[in-house]
Each structure stands twice: as structure tokens, then as C-alpha cells.
Amino acid sequence: MEDREKYYLTTAIAYTSGKPHIGNNYEIVLADSIARFKRKEGCDVFFQTGTDEHGQKIELKAQEAGVTPKEFVDNAAGIIQGMCDMLNISYDKFIRTTDDYHERQVQKIFKRMYNQGDIYKGAYEGMYCTPCESFWTESQLVDGKCPDCGREVKPAREEAYFFRMSKYADRLIKHINEHPEFIQPVSRKNEMMNNFLLPGLQDLCVSRTSFKWGIPVDFDPGHVVYVWLDALTNYITGIGYDAEGNSTEQYKKLWPADLHLIGKDIIRFHTIYWPIFLMALDEPLPKQIFGHPWLLMNSSKMSKSRGNVLYADDLVDFFGVDAVRYYVLHEMPFENDGNATWELIAERTNSDLANTLGNLVNRTISMSNKYFGGVVADKGAVDQALDGDLKAVVTATYGKVKEKMAQLRVADSLTEIFGIFKRCNKYIDETEPWILAKDEAKADRLSTVLYNLVEGICIGASLLEPYMPETAGKIAAQLNTNLRGFDQLETFGLYESGSKVTDKPEILFARLDMKEVEKKDEEMAAAMAAQESAETAGTGAADGPETAADVIDIEPKAEIGFEDFEKLQFQVGEIIACEAVPKSKKLLCSQVKIGSQVKQIVSGIKAHYSPEEMVGKKVMVLVNLKPAKLAGVLSEGMLLCAEDASGKLALMTPEKEMPAGAEIC
């Protein structure tokens, strides 16, 4: 048997400080769809994920919980792995950075780098932010505070080991220039080159002495290995790397990784620090690093402190595993952030899953039972125009999907697959089986039409398997057939004529009552607010001189250059008309005058402003946002708001009278 092409895929390892939200889980579902697709292509896939379990934050959280750090991370890792299993993730390896073999190799790696002069001992001195576990120079502070989180910093000095990043910087720049596929999307590559590599790299702190919960530097026990040298090396330790030259056959087979899949917020660590560490170890670099966008909630990054978090287990309990998988995969663009709310997931479930897919399968099986006792037979009664077009669409889809997946455009590949189901629905409208059934002379034509539908569904379900494996299996079972390999999806007519479909078709996706969805959304929001209130009360946060209303800390986004800011066009707009969006609890549709133009903008502010209040307001508008449909209504920009800790919104308005169209700069 010919050796299969290997494919080694990893995700970032989840930090064990708390329960991951659906924005975190998106990455593992994305990776799973790629891994399953590659397996179905015939590759020998190894898919690794896991947990990052060391650091000062973990030590502090364990103290607060009254348990040891190991007990704390054991519990957290169990929750994270359990959520992977719940989402039907087909990982081959779940690594924990507290695993003995990993810790031993990290110590060996550190010592090797020290012995060869890449790591040296020094001291870190500057302004220290405890929550971020980061030192900053005076020039890096923003208004005297941490540039990442905005909190207070204090002067500190700490003995530490440093890695000589500059030693390898030119070599990394050369590699990136010679391998344009190395960092994807291209915008992430440009960001790393322009903001970090070309201006020059500072040496990186790779040990700490201010806390104990980490892997000890074995030749200097007062130090523990800092998180990034510890965590990043999991990609090689998990498959058998040995820093002393005794790596396993598995490592030799799998490395270099074919794809590191990580969030855009940690791309610097994976595209600069990690490749340089590998260069120091004289190991090849991964073939590709993809920094995927974020899944937002109501267009804001999910954060427990802001109360705008969706958890996968809550969503799966209400919508089902494959509905959640479908939503996060289909709604995430290749490069830009996606958006998720209970309402949006429900709308997509109703339109795509219940109507386009579920109704198609149910109708086809029901008609087969009604007209032919469930027997599906190709009688050869062909309409060349109608049947030919259906077959052409169905058999061309795999090629299109393969092309999209090669570019990691997973959302686009799903759109292509659902093109099959939409074409099958159109074919039903074109052939009108219920009319054919009235004429006995057309029985063969009716049988052929139903055969073509079943065959189209089989091919579509086989393509759908990597993304929605449970649903694809259910479809095949109801049609009394097996899902096909990719090598069979460009041939139409492989469904065995004369097969009998189930006589009791199962509803794949029931239509959701939007009122029930809204009720569930409100229940979850109330429960989260109550939990947050209880946790805040327990910390004594209200005892200090500042209340929660005085300041709000939010999670920082990645830095942008001035050239990125210049792309944004902000202007003053005047709202000349406003109305509620039908069937939406949250959206208002405003007509906004900007200079001599009028733009239609949809905003999720119905709970905070009535349509009557909106009219006449002068507001801040992001004018050049790409148009998009929200609840079926076109939106041509964004109104900017401020949000407090309770979620209350306030429109941003000019302090002095300004004309509509005035530039905000």
C-alpha cells in the first residue's frame, strides 16, 4: 500500500484560567473541519490540541479557589477537553503542559539554548503590570498605565533569563520573504513585518522568579520557564521531540507541521518567537501559520467581564452540536471578524438548516414513500435540460470545495456545498413531482426525478461530512446508503437503484420559535449578570475608592499602524428617519444624512433608544464599512456607541454643533 501524505495540524492550546467561550471554541471546530477534510482526501492526519497550564494567573486563581495549582488546572483541563468532545472534535492528541514528558523536554530545550549562547542571564527592570504579567518601559505606557489593559503599573526589578531574538531576526525576515504562504492571511504577515521585525526585535524574557507555578529551570531553581517558551514548544514535544537528539520516529515523520491554526491576537508569538526558537534548535519551520479572525458577540469581542459571552455547552443544549458547528464555520469570513448572537444563530438555523437542508431531505424521503413505497429507482426517463443542469451543478461542487479548502476558506466551502441543496430544492420546483404523480404515464419520470434528488443529496451529504459529521451520517442512514469518498463525488448515479429509504424520516433541524430563542437569550443574560454580580461582591470590589461606574477595563486589541487607521473614514451624520426592524428585538434601521448622501444603517440599539429619540441626532458614523445584511436589512455603515459595564449604550455625539458630513479626525 502506497504511503499516504502526512498532514500535521495544531491549534493554540487553551489557557486554563477559566471556561472557554464559543469565540475560543471556534478555533477547535475550524481545525476539526480541516482535519476531517484532509482525512477524507486520503491524508494521514495527526491533529493536536490541548491546554496551557502554567503562569502567575493560574497560581493566583488557585489561591483564590483554595486549591493547589495542579488541582485547579486538572479541573480546568477536564472542562476544556470535555467541551472538545461535546463539539465532536476528532483530535488525535490532547497535550497538557503539565505532562511529565513536556516539562522534561522544556527543561532540556532551555538548557540547550543557554549552553549555545541563545539565552543569557540578566535583569528585567521597568514598570510592571501584574494582571498582564508584563514589564513595560516608560515610553510604552499609555497615560502612565499598562498599554494592554489600562491598569496601574508599578516599578519593579526582576532577575531573568533572556533570549537573543536579534540573532535570528534577519534569517526570519528572509524566510518570510521567500515563503509568501508562511503567514496567512497576507494582512497578518504585513503586520508582523512592519510593526515588529523591520523596526528591530528586543530580546525576550524567558524566565520568571516572582512566582513558582511553572517549569523550573533545572540548573537555576529560583527561575521558572516563562509561558511562551513553555507553551509554544508543545507543538514538538507532543509528537516526540527530544532536545538531545533522540526524537521519536513519529516526530521525524510529522515535523514540520503543515498548519498551525491560531487566533490573530497571538500571531506575533507564533510567527516571530516560535520560528526563532526553532531556528535556535536547528529544526525546520512549520509550513504555514494561519491567524484566524475573532468570533464577536454583538460586534464586540467576547469577555466575561463585559457579560457578552456565549458558551458552547449552552448553545449545543439549545441548538444541537451540528447547528453550532455550522454557524461558527459558515459565519466566519476568511480575514474579518464574525458575529454571533442567539438571534443570529437561530435565524441561520431556520433558513439554512431547517429550510434549505432539512426540508429538502424530509420532502424527498416523504415523496419516495408516498409514491413508490420508499423504493428509489432510476428509470432512465430523462429531461436533458433539467436533469443535465442539476447533474452539472452537483458534480462540479467537489472541485470548488477542494479549491476553497486549499485556501483555508472554510466558510466559502460550506456555501458551495449548500449550493447543491439549494439546486435540489429548485429542481423540485422545476419538475413538480406532485403534478407528475397525477399521471400514471409519467411514473417513470417521477421515479427518475426522485432518484436524481436522492443522488444529489447523497453527494451533498458526503461533502458535508467534515463540517457536520453527525448530520451527514443521519442523512445517509435515512437514505439507506453510505457516505462516499471524495473520489466518487464527481460521478452522478452511484446510488444503488432499487434501494429503499426509511419509512420514518427524522426531522434533521426543526424550525425554531424566535420568541423561545429570545426568552432563552434573556435567561442566559440574566444568569450571567447574576453570576458576575455574585463574583464581584465576593471580591470586595466595591470597598475601594472607585466604583465599577468610574472605570471600565476591556481586553486590548492588537496594535495597528497609522496606515491602518487612515483607512477608516469617520464623519458626523444626522439621523433623518428611523424605524424598528420587523421581527427583531434589538435592531433599529436609521436613514443617516452624511454630506449630500443618505446611508441606511442598522444598529443593535433598540433597547436603549426609541425610533422617535433617534431622529434629529448628530452621531459619529464609520462611513466606509463594507455593507452587510442584518436580519435581512442592508446596513451601509456603523453608528458608534460607548458601552458601560452593565451593557448600557450611549451614542457618540459631537460636543459642539457640527454639520452633517463633517470629518472626524
- 597-635: pLDDT as tens digits: 889 999 888 878 888 788 888 999 999 888 887 777 888
Q: Is the dihedral of CA 297, 319, 626, 635 positive or negative?
A: negative
Q: List the beta bridge partners of residue 301.
A: 296
- Tens digits of residue pLDDT in 308-328: 678 899 999 999 999 999 999
Q: Is pLDDT above 60 for 93?
A: yes
Name residue 487's amino acid: D
Q: Give the rounded percent of residues in the chain with a pLDDT score beyond 90.
A: 65
Rounded Cα distance, 461 and 487, in Å: 14
Q: Among residues 585, 563, 569, which one has the least CA distance to residue 636? A: 569
Above 90 in pLDDT, residue 304?
no
Cα–Cα distance measured from residue 215 to residue 98, given in angstroms and rounded to the nearest whole number: 8
CA atoms of 631 and 189, how far apart (whole Å): 34
Distance CA 535, CA 572 (A): 40
R_g (Cα) of the chain, nearest Å: 28
The residues with which 207 forms a beta bridge, in sequence order, are 225
**In percent, how much of the chain has pLDDT > 70?**
90
Question: How many whole angstroms separate alpha carbon 468 and alpha carbon 451?
Answer: 24
Containing H/E element for 204?
A: strand 204-205
pLDDT at 334 over 80: no
Express each pLDDT in 136-171 by its tens digit.
Answer: 778 778 888 887 778 888 888 889 999 999 999 999
Separation of CA 186 from chain center: 18
Gap between the Cα atoms of 131 and 128, Å rounded: 9
* CA pair distance 650, 648, nearest whole angstrom: 7
Give the pLDDT of residue 96.
Answer: 98
Q: For the ranges 11-15, 302-306, 336-340, 463-467, which has the lowest average pLDDT?
A: 302-306
Which pLDDT score, from 0 to 100, does residue 547 have?
28
Q: What is the mean pLDDT of residues 376-393?
A: 97
What pLDDT, on a 0 to 100 scale, did the predictor assign at position 494? 98
Pairing of strands 618-622, 638-639: antiparallel
pTM: 0.79
Tell me what the mean pLDDT of segment 247-262 comes to.
Answer: 98
The SS3 assignment for 208 reads strand
- For residue 73, the surrounding DSSP H or E stretch is helix 69-86
Checking if the pLDDT of 19 tops 80, the result is yes
Over range 95-108, report the average pLDDT: 98
Distance CA 14, CA 20 (A): 8
Does the pLDDT of residue 555 top 50, yes or no?
A: no
Residue 365 DSSP one-character state = H
Q: Among the listed ranges 138-142, 533-537, 646-650, 654-658, which one has the minimum average pLDDT value?
A: 533-537
Cell numbers of 209, please? 522568579
Burial class of residue 227 in the structure, from the number of CB atoms within 10 Å of its CB (0-12 exposed, 13-18 middle, 19+ buried): buried
Please give the pLDDT value at position 645. 53
Reduced to 3 states (helix: H, G, I; strand: E, B; else coil), residue 16 is coil
In this prediction, residue 303 carries a pLDDT of 59
Among the residue ranges 375-384, 592-601, 605-614, the one predicted with the least confidence is 605-614
> In the prediction, which pLDDT does 576 show?
83
| Residue 100 binned pLDDT confidence (cut-offs 50, 70, 90) | very high
Q: What's the pLDDT at 538? A: 42
**In this structure, what are the phi and psi dihedrals at residue 81, rounded to the nearest 5 degrees?**
-65, -35
Cβ atoms 35, 73 nearer than 8 A: no
For residue 528, pLDDT over 80 is answered with no
Residues whose CB is less than 8 angstroms from the CB of residue 431 and which lie 6 or more positions away in sequence, other chains included: 383, 386, 449
* DSSP one-letter string for 408-477: T-HHHHHHHHHHHHHHHHHHHHHH-HHHHTT-GGGHHHHHHHHHHHHHHHHHHHHHHTTTSHHHHHHHHH
pLDDT of res. 139: 76
Q: Is residue 180 packed enough to be buried (19+ CB in 10 Å), middle (13-18) or exposed (0-12)?
A: exposed
